Amino acid sequence: MASRLSLPAMPGVRQIGEIVNGTRGRGEEAVVVENVSKRFRIPHERKSTFYDHLFGLARGGRYTYEVFSALEEVSFSVRRGETFGVIGPNGCGKSTLLKILAGVLRPDGGRVAIAGKVAPFLELGVGFHPELTAIENIRLYGAIMGLSRREIEGKREEILEFADLKRFENMKLKNFSSGMYVKLAFATAIEANPDILLVDEVLSVGDEAFQKKCASKIEEIRRAGKTIVYVSHALASVRDLCDRCLFLEEGRIAALGEAEEVVEEYLRRMG
């Protein structure tokens, strides 16, 4: 049985795939990715029922599919406290990489080691339930992040205050406007106090005032020494925010290094 949660030798360390020797003890690197590959199977004929399978067999059909290689032998590491950018054209494997770091996808080859609690901002409001009230949803989200009941209760007021939703705390989420929804989602995720943030271009939420609040919150988190992995098409913000940067092209590393240089390389190639 491949259970990825079977070896928490050091608290807060989540191992994906095999153990990377030595990385657990050092505490220097927050994220280590070694030779990670991910291939997707794209079937020629989509069979998603028993009926399809039986019918396909009866006609003598065979299960054929094409292999799409989303990531090929990607290796890099992110230091603790670093803001790390990932750029590349559409379909280069950025989102796949982020999902592997989040633990949602399992790599076909290679190793990933992550030290600390990860908050994936792949989408805001994950797990929110429309039939529950704002407070109940905060509790739900906190639990998804693996927080204990006491930790969640301790952060409740801060979250409601940050999102300006104190008045609506007992309102069901289905009655929220989309703006209020997004504010609550962002506030809840950010207050979960993760060690590592995976951010996939979701920072432009809410109205102007709230956006400013978010930006300064992110800056605050950065200064507090948290690790951020930031995937974006906004090259200017990558250059400003990130220390180092990874440039992916067709699932392979095209450049890796100082953010400024990598962004320049990207612009030159995409010219």
Residues forming the site for other proteins (CB under 8 A): 1-3, 5, 40, 48-51, 53, 99, 102-106, 118, 120, 122-123, 126-127, 129, 131-132, 136, 139-140, 142-144, 146-149, 152
The least CB distance from residue 87 to other proteins, in Å, is 22
Q: Identify which of residues 147 and 199 has a Cβ nearer to other proteins in the complex.
A: 147
Q: Which residue in 242, 252, 249, 247 sits closest to 264, CA to CA?
A: 247
Q: How far is the CB of 210 from other proteins (least distance, A)?
A: 22
The residue among 232, 251, 235, 234 whose CA lies nearest residue 92 is: 251
Q: Are 103 and 71 in contact (CB under 8 A)?
A: no
CB of 102 to other proteins, least distance (A): 6
- The neighbouring-strand residues paired with 244 are 84, 258
Indicate the residue among 37 and 260 with the shorter CB distance to other proteins: 37
Least spacing, CB of residue 96 vs other proteins, in Å: 10
CB of 120 to other proteins, least distance (A): 5
Nearer to other proteins, 140 or 234 (CB): 140
C-alpha dist (Å) from residue 247 to 42, 74, 170, 175, 260 = 25, 11, 45, 42, 12
Rounded Cα distance, 79 and 83, in Å = 9
Distance (Å, whole) CA 85 – CA 257: 10
Residue whose CB is less far from other proteins, 6 or 204: 6
Q: Which residues pair with 41 in a beta bridge?
A: 67
Measured from the CB of residue 64, what is the shortest distance to other proteins in angstroms? 17
Q: Which one, 28 or 52, has the nearer CB to other proteins?
A: 52
Handedness of CA 78, 257, 106, 222 (dihedral sign): positive
Residue placing its CB nearer to other proteins in the complex, 228 or 245: 228
Q: Which residues contact 116 (CB under 8 A, 6 or more apart)?
A: 12, 13, 30, 194, 195, 196, 227
Q: CB 271 → other proteins: shortest distance, Å?
A: 34
Q: Tell me which residue of 53, 73, 78 sits closest to 63, measured CA to CA.
A: 53
Please give the structure tokens belonging to residue 151: 């930790």
N- to C-terminal Cα separation, the chain: 48
- Which C-beta is closer to other proteins: that of 143 or that of 256? 143
